[in-house]
Structure formats: structure tokens, C-alpha cells
Structure 1
């Protein structure tokens, strides 16, 4: 069994599964590594389907981490947002980037998945995103295929959401993100009213580690006042660059070269409906 070849072939799929389950880049990377290391402990003849075996390992370890983190999540200060997945470059020939940019990993989609139970989330992801048949899913989650079919139907109905599968060929093709970036960097935050939905929502995740809004901010007017209020205290060397964030154009903010926050967006009918700002330093560690 050529572990290196298997790693190149299956890492994007396994990472996307773990990341959607956990909302953590670091945990997803760790679990994928552990899954491949576990192959050394099992005789090759005992594994009928390597991909299904690896998916099962990743699924089970993701659930274990969710269980251990449940208490911490209950005590989390302010809104909880997934750890942003950021690509600092636009490497068109990177197969890992290409795979993830075509997947449903937007912040809005990940937050919807949080509404599902762990079992529902696994079954839904394996069926809807990874296109497994129900027999394969049943083997991974240790349930009957008929039960998995019912779980999937319930989960899909519960979500009631179709992810935006738009492809962005480059980082300079989304005018709303560019205009948002321009408003931030120039300080002309009143421009936000021109392209925010009237019922837009701003979520800021500082995790109690840095100053941030402890509750979501509702409405374009209030969001504009929020950014207008904090703009005078922004350092002179604040810089914002458009980068790939969760498979879509987003914004990375730095002060003096040090990462300070990551913006991602939910855009519906030509307007920004949701803004997600992660400033919790623990969630930016792998990007610094």
C-alpha cells in the first residue's frame, strides 16, 4: 500500500469532511494525519475499500473531538464562527486548492451544518457532498442503509438551504468584496449602505480574547455605525487584502504585517447578507 500516493489522492476529500464536521483547520489537519498513520496498524488485506476506511476513521475521530469540545463550545464568549480557511495565493495548479474551492465550505454553509446532530451531519455530508451511496454510508456510520436514507432526508429538510456553488476564477471578480474592502481601507464606511442588505447581519468572533461585539449586529444601519465607530481607532498601518476565504473571495486584515482578522461573506441577490469577522487569535494561529 503506497501511503504517499493515497495521501495525495484522498487528502482533499478527507480534509473537507473533517473541516465541515469541526469548523477547525488545525483539528481537520491533525485528524487526516492520524487517519493515514492508522493505516500502518492494519494489514492491507483487512481493508476492502481504503477510501471508505479512511472516511470512517476521519468521521469517528471528528465525532470524538466534537464530544470533547462540547463543554467548551457552551462556554464560548460571543458568537462562535468556524476557523477560517485561507489561501494566501491564487495557485491555479494546486489540486488541493482547486478541490476545496469547488466544495461547499462557505462560512454560511458551515454554520448551517452546526444545526444538525453529529449523525445527521455525517450522513448529510457523505451523501450530499461526497456522493456516497447509502450502503457505503451505512458501513461508515454503523446504521442500516434505510435508516441513513431517512436521516439524510430529515437533515436536508432541516437545512432548507442550497449552498452557493458559484466558481470564482480569480480574486478580482467580485465587485461587492472589492467595494467592502475599499470602504474599510479608506474609512468611507457609509458606502456600506450601498451594498448591504437592509436585514444584513454582522457576526464577530473574538472568543473573549480580543474586543468584539458579543452579540450579532442586525441591520445595515447598525453595521455601518459599528464600522464607523471603530474606524477612528484603526492603526495607520492597517492593510486589507482580498484572499480566498472558505472557497470564496474574502478579506484578510493585518496591522504592521501581523494578522488581525479575517472577513468572509454571504452574498445573496447582489447584496451582502451576512458578514463574518474572525479576530480570535486562537483561530488565526495557522495563518500567522
Structure 2
């Protein structure tokens, strides 16, 4: 019986790990925390007898959702004490096959830095319902079982969350750039910064562009968003002037879109992602907090 239970646990792990990681990462914005929670959920599952659970998928999602909420409420995770802007931990998605389960869940617009920041504005129950319905395409009856709400209540929560996200985003009419076009624009961005071409940068940025840098108090970073093209360009030129000789850049798929990973020697030193509007850069997000880069591979 124990061997049968072990085999079933392994089957469930292989089947649902991509789904559960996708849910946890969108809930928390942390690769490492999402991986930990999925592992914890399956360890807990392995201690249960399978016949006591009727809907394995819903039960695992409920375990992960509850653990995410516990993690968000823990004193060590409170954002009120975070130094400077908080940005989600970057997720490198370049190696994913869009036809695989992982690719199906992770290569989506809903992984973008801008989208994840919008999700952080929702309450935990709104976030869970919204992710399960909008991103993972669950039925309301399934969602109700996971979050312990009625089906009609979940429907109301979803519509309220969707209105909130739409109202916050201001991006309803924005057509996202194709990956190839965004990659070409990022190549121009890298060249302009490296060569000090402020005119080219001005053409790439919106006049009201904003830059958000997350150092988490661990390394030097702007503690407030930098607003306006002139100030953003001045900041970028300042960074470029202090860059070490062994700094290099690589364009990679980050959170489902082309982004930039910078390296000092072999070690990742920053990840840069973008939000576009009308073929120009509207927002720049820079993660330099070393705690959020530990999971990235070396160059």
C-alpha cells in the first residue's frame, strides 16, 4: 500500500507541479518561495492516504493557496518594511517549450513584471480567484472548493478583481509588441546605454517613462521611482559610467517577454524588464537585490 501511495504521489508531482508553481509564483512573485511551497505541499500530501481526498487537483491547489497566504502574512514577508520599490523575483523562461505543461502555464502575458505588480494590489482571495479563473481557466465551482467560498461569491470576487486590475493598469488599449520587435528594441536600448547615445535613448523612451529599481536595501538602488525621460536617461548614464570592465549583457526571456540579464564576470548582477506603450518604453524594472538573483544560472 505504501508503494502504491508513493507511486501515486510521484505521478501527481509530475502532473501538477507546473500548475502549482505557476499559481504560487503569481501569488507571491517569488521563484524560491513558490518552489518551497510546492515542495511543502507534496511532502504534506505524501503523508495522507489518497482515498481521503476526492479531488486531488483542487486539494493540492488549496494547499498551495493556503501556504501562499501564510507566507504573505508572516512577519518576515511584510512589504511595509521593504527598502525601496518591491519587484517580483525574475523568472527566466527561455528554455521552456510552449507545448509542455510548464510552457503552457508560464509563457503567458500574465507573467510580465507589470502584470505581477498589478496582482499584488489585490487581496489574497481576489488574487487567488483571479489567477485561477483568468490565467488558469478554472470553473467557478472548482475555485469555490479551493478558496472556501460559494461559486456565486467567487464569480463576484473575480469580476471585482478584474475591474480593479483593468482600472489600475491603464493598458486596456495597448497592443503588446511581438517578441521579435521587443527584442530588437531592447538591442537598441543596450547599444544606446553602452555608447552613451542619449538621443537614441530619448527616441526609445516615452516622455513620462518611469524606472523602478529593487535593491532591497542590500545593494545601492534608487529608493523611489525615477520619473521622466530626462531623469531616467541621467540615471542610466550614471550606471553605465560606473560599470566594471567585465560587465556583459544577454537578452533572455524573462517573465514571458524579452528582457536583459547583466553579468559581472560569470555572476548575474541585474535583471531588467520593460513595459511598452505604442512601441516605446513606458516603464523599466531593474532587479539588483542579490537575494532575488540567487536562483539564476551563471553566464
Check conservation: 1:89, 1:243, Cα contact below 8 A.
no
CA distance in 1 between counterparts of 2:286 and 2:178 reads 21
Give deviations 1:84-133, integer Å, cap 9, x for gaps: 11246576776524541135110000000111111111111111111111
Offset of 1:78 from its aligned partner? Answer: 0.6
CA distance in 2 between counterparts of 1:148 and 1:7 reads 27
Equivalent residue, structure 2, for 1:105: 111
Give deviations 1:62-101, integer Å, cap 9, x for gaps: 0000000476411111101011112465767765245411
Equivalent residue, structure 2, for 1:195: 204
Q: How many residues align?
A: 287
Answer yes or no: is 1:260 the counterpart of 2:266.
Answer: no
CA distance in 2 between counterparts of 1:189 and 1:16 reads 39
Query: Aligned to 1:86, what secondary structure does the other structure show?
Result: coil
- Uncovered stretches (5+) of structure 1, i.e. residues with no partner: none
Answer yes or no: is 1:223 the counterpart of 2:232.
Answer: yes
Check conservation: 1:190, 1:228, Cα contact below 8 A.
no
- Uncovered stretches (5+) of structure 2, i.e. residues with no partner: none
Equivalent residue, structure 1, for 2:246: 237
Check conservation: 2:93, 2:106, Cα contact below 8 A.
no
Distance 1:140 1:157, change over 3 A: same
Query: Aligned to 1:104, what secondary structure does the other structure show?
Result: helix
Equivalent residue, structure 1, for 2:10: 4
CA distance in 1 between counterparts of 2:61 and 2:116 reads 19
Query: Aligned to 1:287, what secondary structure does the other structure show?
Result: coil
**Could you state the TM-score of these two structures normalised by the residue count of structure 2?**
0.88
Equivalent residue, structure 2, for 1:154: 160
Answer yes or no: is 1:133 the counterpart of 2:142.
Answer: no
**Could you state the TM-score of these two structures normalised by the residue count of structure 1?**
0.92
Q: What is the RMSD of the two structures over their aligned residues, measured on CA atoms?
A: 2.3
CA distance in 2 between counterparts of 1:92 and 1:115 reads 29
Check conservation: 1:201, 1:223, Cα contact below 8 A.
yes
